Amino acid sequence: MQPQVEIQLIAAVVAVACALPGVFLVLRRMAMMSDAISHAILFGIVVAFLVVESLGSPFLVFGAALTGVLTVSMVEGLFKTRLVKEDAAIGLVFPVLFSIGVILISRFAGNVHLDIDAVLLGELAFAPFDRLMFNNHDLGPKALWVMGGILLLNIILIVLFFKELKLASFDEGLASALGFSPALIHYGLMSQVSLTAVGAFDAVGSILVVALMIGPPTSAYLLTDRLSRMLSISAAIGVISAVSGYWLAHWWDVNIAGSIATMIGLIFFLIYLFAPRRGVVALLRRRNYQRWHFAESMLAVHLLTHLGQPEEARECHRDEVHKHLNWQENHAKRVVRRALQDGYVHLDKDILRLTAIGKKLAGKAVVE
């Protein structure tokens, strides 16, 4: 495989592996926990590295993942004292662990692959150089194997515990009453997030881990009403961001991880604007429609009130009606034009008269 293809493949695998547990983080309102975990694991990575003296060891991956879980329990422990709010607890815990990690790197590991630039944004471009060899056979980039394994594990866990994750995320009380320990599910999910963050950290750095865990699920949330679809749409958005981000970086000759994070932000923004039902544009359109619809209803009710009455010719004359409704003349004209277009009224010698559906509209407006 060419390095170009390999980098895109790694980026896509990392994106999906992060997006899947990210869906549950977003739904459980724990988005900021991914920030805490992805930074705090640096401490675990450095300590584990100093112990095993190899970056590729599975021991390092699991050791560092433990730090993630430790972070979560430290945040929760601090929060439970009620002396500190939860967001403040997050803000206190992870910078401490992160900065201890930074100090340890500069003090003890300054001359190895762990450097502080890579910590924040990773270096996807170098990922293909670190190969997995077996009996002198080249099996491909190591990052692809590590993240592929983590992705597979994430898929298996989510498929296996889909029902439990859904229940505990939606209604913790019921989950507990039914005997599904929410604490177990919570810490299970946190372990999964930590493991994913550690795996992705090496390739893409801590900022992109947060972007990949939170961006695609938040975008998918605006597009669907079903949890299963939210998972698959998140995965798809992750892949699209990864590949388009790679090409953005290629053309502009910039950092790949940064470009991917930019694409995630851009895709979210587009979905935020143009999502079919929840997007800003759809919302404005609906509001606009409702405004006119309400105005037409008012007109219809007015016409119905004076229908067949002696004053009808005056009250319902096309050029007079605005005076009786106390509307701006232009506004009244536009409402009348719309009502004519929509078939609610017709003109009978300049007198506005309700059609059958116009009467229905007025009737409905009054009842409601």
Partner 1 sequence: MNGLNEKHKPPRDQAAIWVEDLTVAYQDKPVLWDVDLAIPKGVLMAIVGPNGAGKTTMIKAMLGLVDPVAGRVEVFGKPFREQRRLLGYVPQRTSVDWDFPTNVLDVVMMGRYGTLGWFRRPGKAEREKAMHALEKVAMDPYADRQISQLSGGQQQRVFLARALAQEAEVYLMDEPFQGVDATTERAIVDLLRELRKQGRTVVVVHHDLQTVPDYFDWVFLLNVRRIACGPVETFFTEENLRLAYGGRVAILGERKPIADDAKSL
Strand 137-141 with 131-134, pairing:
antiparallel
Whichever of 53 and 171 has its CB closer to partner 1, that residue is 171
Whichever of 162 and 289 has its CB closer to partner 1, that residue is 162
Q: Which amino acid is at 21?
A: P
Whichever of 232 and 355 has its CB closer to partner 1, that residue is 232
Burial track 292-301 (b if 16+ CB lie within 10 A, e otherwise): eeebbbebbb
CB of 160 to partner 1, least distance (A): 6
Nearest alpha-carbon partner for 192 in 5, 17, 2, 12: 17
Crossing angle of helices 227-252/3-27, nearest 10°?
Answer: 140
Whichever of 163 and 287 has its CB closer to partner 1, that residue is 163
Q: Determine the Cα–Cα distance for residues 30 and 68; give it in Å rounded to an integer.
A: 14
CB of 14 to partner 1, least distance (A): 24
Whichever of 164 and 312 has its CB closer to partner 1, that residue is 164
Whichever of 27 and 120 has its CB closer to partner 1, that residue is 27
CB of 282 to partner 1, least distance (A): 15
The footprint of partner 1 (CB under 8 A) covers 27, 29, 82, 160-164, 166-167, 169-171, 173-174, 176-180, 221, 224-227, 229-230
Whichever of 278 and 293 has its CB closer to partner 1, that residue is 278
CB of 233 to partner 1, least distance (A): 10
CB of 230 to partner 1, least distance (A): 5
CB of 301 to partner 1, least distance (A): 25
Residue-level length of the chain: 368
CB of 178 to partner 1, least distance (A): 4
CB of 329 to partner 1, least distance (A): 39
Per-residue CA distances from 251 to 1, 14, 20, 268 (Å): 21, 22, 29, 22
Whichever of 103 and 160 has its CB closer to partner 1, that residue is 160
For residues 20 and 235, is the Cβ–Cβ distance under 8 A? yes
Q: Which residue has the tokens 């694409």?
A: 263
Residue ranges in the chain assigned as alpha helix (H): 3-27, 31-52, 58-80, 86-108, 116-121, 142-160, 162-170, 172-177, 182-221, 227-252, 256-274, 280-305, 312-315, 321-325, 329-341, 356-367
For residues 49 and 60, is the Cβ–Cβ distance under 8 A? yes
Token readout for 186 is 């919570």
Q: Determine the Cα–Cα distance for residues 142 and 148; give it in Å rounded to an integer.
A: 10
CB of 126 to partner 1, least distance (A): 38
Q: Determine the Cα–Cα distance for residues 218 and 270; give it in Å rounded to an integer.
A: 12
Q: What are phi and psi of 133, to 5 degrees?
A: -110, 140
Whichever of 28 and 324 has its CB closer to partner 1, that residue is 28
